[in-house]
């Protein structure tokens, strides 16, 4: 459990926290109904934009795997909202388990983009699902936040590696990827500062500012980094990748930028146009 300044937390609607983590923000300091006010409301940025984007990309006709990423992002936002609002263990799982599943999905999509025709797609999906299920099962059994953070960090590092590979195929996304990496680094740094120096930060904050906004800073940086990364994947979503065999029976991946409904396009016509 993250350290926090004792004697400041108040009683609230949801009762005593049962989560294995209590972040460095005074509980029920701003309202009787929300345990961590700022950590809760910042999750609106993880809920509203993905929902709008889901509608937009559904009308555009992109493949479902890209819509699934947005659904996963919105699910993390809802779970995180419930977790920080209640500080209940069940709600904590609704926040943390979708983080693993959603990032696994994102990693699979980037891997498919980098490795072309996806002839081992079933194997790749099986690996992503197995990792999510195993990590989730072990985490529920051991209830150790460090295990979850380590498993999630390993997944994020692998995802960043696959994303960098994607930059070589689609150089237009390089700046967005670098911005996302920078924001994730800032978020991770602020998160560690918040945990390590929580007591001192809390005392200074209440003495000088008398608010709780500092805890939300790392979350804002994380959300912004997620947006940049999501923008990269959805730039890819607007690019049609078509796998075919050349005259030497070798797999060839065609990249065709499209400005319409990719689900209803004549793939044969696109292949002829690309040739």
Q: What is the pLDDT of residue 8?
A: 56
Which SS3 state, helix, strand or coil, does residue 184 take? Answer: helix
Model confidence at 228, pLDDT cuts 50, 70, 90, reads confident
Domain ranges of the chain: 37-237, 240-275
Question: What's the rounded mean pLDDT across residues 236-243?
Answer: 54
Q: What six digits make up the tokens of 104?
A: 């696994």
Q: What is the pLDDT of residue 234?
A: 67
- Fold of domain 37-237: Rhopdopsin 7-helix transmembrane proteins (1.20.1070)
Length of the chain: 275
Which SS3 state, helix, strand or coil, does residue 34 take? Answer: strand
pTM (predicted TM-score): 0.77
Q: What is the pLDDT of residue 4?
A: 47
How far apart, in whole angstroms, are the C-alpha atoms of residue 243 and residue 117?
A: 5
Give how far the C-alpha of residue 138 lies from the chain's centroid of Cα atoms, to the nearest Å: 21
């Amino acid at each position: 459990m993250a350290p926090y300044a004792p004697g400041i937390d108040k009683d609230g609607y949801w009762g005593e926290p049962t989560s294995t983590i209590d972040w460095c923000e005074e509980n029920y300091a701003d309202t009787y109904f929300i345990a961590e006010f700022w950590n809760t409301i910042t999750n609106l940025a993880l809920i509203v934009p993905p929902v709008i984007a889901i509608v937009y990309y559904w009308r555009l006709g992109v493949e479902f795997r890209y819509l699934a990423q947005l659904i996963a992002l919105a699910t993390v936002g809802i779970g995180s909202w419930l977790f920080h609002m209640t500080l209940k263990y069940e709600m904590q799982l609704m926040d943390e388990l979708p983080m693993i599943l959603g990032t696994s999905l994102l990693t699979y999509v980037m891997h498919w983009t980098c490795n072309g025709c996806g002839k081992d797609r079933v194997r790749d999906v099986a690996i992503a699902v197995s990792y999510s299920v195993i990590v989730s099962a072990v985490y529920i059994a051991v209830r150790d936040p460090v295990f979850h953070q380590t498993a999630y960090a390993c997944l994020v590092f692998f995802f960043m590696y696959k994303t960098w590979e994607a930059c070589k195929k689609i150089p237009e996304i390089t700046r967005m990827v670098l911005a996302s990496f920078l924001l994730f680094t800032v978020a991770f740094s602020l998160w560690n500062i918040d945990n390590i120096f929580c007591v001192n930060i809390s005392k200074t904050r209440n003495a000088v500012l008398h608010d709780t906004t500092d805890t939300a800073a790392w979350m804002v940086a994380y959300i912004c980094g997620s947006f940049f990364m999501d923008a990269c994947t959805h730039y890819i979503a607007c690019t049609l990748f078509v796998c075919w065999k050349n005259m030497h029976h070798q797999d060839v991946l065609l990249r065709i930028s499209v400005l319409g409904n990719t689900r209803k396009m004549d793939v044969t016509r696109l292949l002829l146009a690309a040739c």
